[in-house]
């Protein structure tokens, strides 16, 4: 599931493959960008911002969001794609590399100087060199909604998705529906930041320290299974800011009072 750590890895993989080279072909397969011409331009860098990916090409920024299904692949020229071509939304080629974005959402192209129009609303990013724990904690702690909803609002803190939110709340002993104004937001956000950094270079995320299949999470995806700490069956439900944005929540009723 693409969250901040997944996007960070994708951005750094693209940066290593493309930065410093000149494009030989850029094919943007969405109607509003189909006529954009970025061929023959120097690729400056590819950077992550929370769940957003910014590929800077010759004074322009190609913005993409992975949402639930998106992914970027890197191939050698002529190498067969591992995903059907009809799912490709962006192709960026150089003389030595072909980067292909499949099932991308919110694809946009803006002058690099206007990047903030796309990502300026985001809160502090725990994977950024400019991570500001105090500001992230202030935003989460001032949110009057349930803390699970507050954590997923990228305007409060950028990069945490549903898996991280559930696991962070379990480790801190906080029920997902608790008001964010009533909890220690700084300790919670700091826990999440340490989690996402620890998982950054792992092949598979783990929150328990056990990388074996089926043992990587405390509560996420474990409805009715015994809590790993106390044995109480894990409960599940849904929370969100609206009916169309509800997310599955998992918690232990004993460990998260």
Residues with catalytic function: 2-3, 51, 247
Give CA 113 to chain center in angstroms.
Answer: 23
Do 226 and 164 meet the contact criterion of CB atoms below 8 Å apart?
Answer: no
Query: 35-58 burial string, b = 16+ CB within 10 Å, else e?
Result: eeebeeeebbbbbbbbbbbbbbbe
Residue 111 φ/ψ, nearest 5 degrees: -55, 140
Q: What's the DSSP call for residue 189?
A: H
Question: In the numeric block, which tokens belong to residue 225?
Answer: 């299974």
Cα 241 to Cα 218: distance, rounded to the nearest angstrom: 24
Q: Which residue has the tokens 């943007």?
A: 28
Cβ atoms within 10 Å of 110's Cβ, excluding its own: 15
Cβ atoms of residues 124 and 131 within 8 Å? yes
Separation CA 221–CA 113 (nearest Å): 41
Q: Which two tokens stand for residue 95?
A: 């003389």
User: Are 151 and 140 in contact, with CB atoms under 8 Å apart?
Assistant: yes
């Amino acid at each position: 599931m693409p969250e901040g750590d997944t996007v960070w890895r994708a951005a750094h993989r693209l940066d290593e493959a493309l930065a410093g080279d000149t494009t030989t072909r850029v094919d943007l397969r969405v109607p509003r960008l189909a006529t954009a011409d970025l061929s023959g331009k120097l690729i400056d860098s590819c950077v992550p911002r929370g769940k957003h990916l910014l590929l800077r090409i010759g004074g322009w920024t190609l913005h993409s969001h992975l949402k639930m299904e998106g992914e970027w692949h890197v191939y050698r020229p002529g190498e067969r794609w591992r995903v059907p071509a009809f799912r490709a939304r962006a192709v960026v080629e150089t003389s030595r590399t072909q980067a292909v974005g499949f099932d991308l959402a919110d694809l946009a192209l803006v002058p690099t100087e206007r990047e903030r129009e796309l990502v300026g609303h985001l809160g502090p990013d725990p994977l950024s060199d400019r991570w500001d724990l105090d500001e992230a904690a202030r935003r989460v702690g001032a949110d009057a909604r349930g803390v699970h909803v507050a954590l997923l609002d990228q305007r409060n803190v950028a990069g945490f998705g549903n898996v991280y939110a559930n696991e962070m709340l379990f480790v801190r002993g906080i029920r997902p529906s608790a008001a964010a104004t009533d909890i220690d937001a700084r300790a919670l956000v700091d826990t999440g930041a340490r989690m996402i950094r620890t998982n950054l270079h792992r092949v598979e995320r783990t929150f328990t320290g056990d990388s074996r299949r089926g043992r990587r999470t405390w509560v996420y995806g474990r409805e009715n299974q015994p809590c790993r700490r106390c044995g109480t069956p894990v409960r599940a439900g849904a929370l969100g800011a609206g009916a169309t944005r509800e997310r599955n929540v998992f918690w232990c009723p004993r460990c998260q009072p």
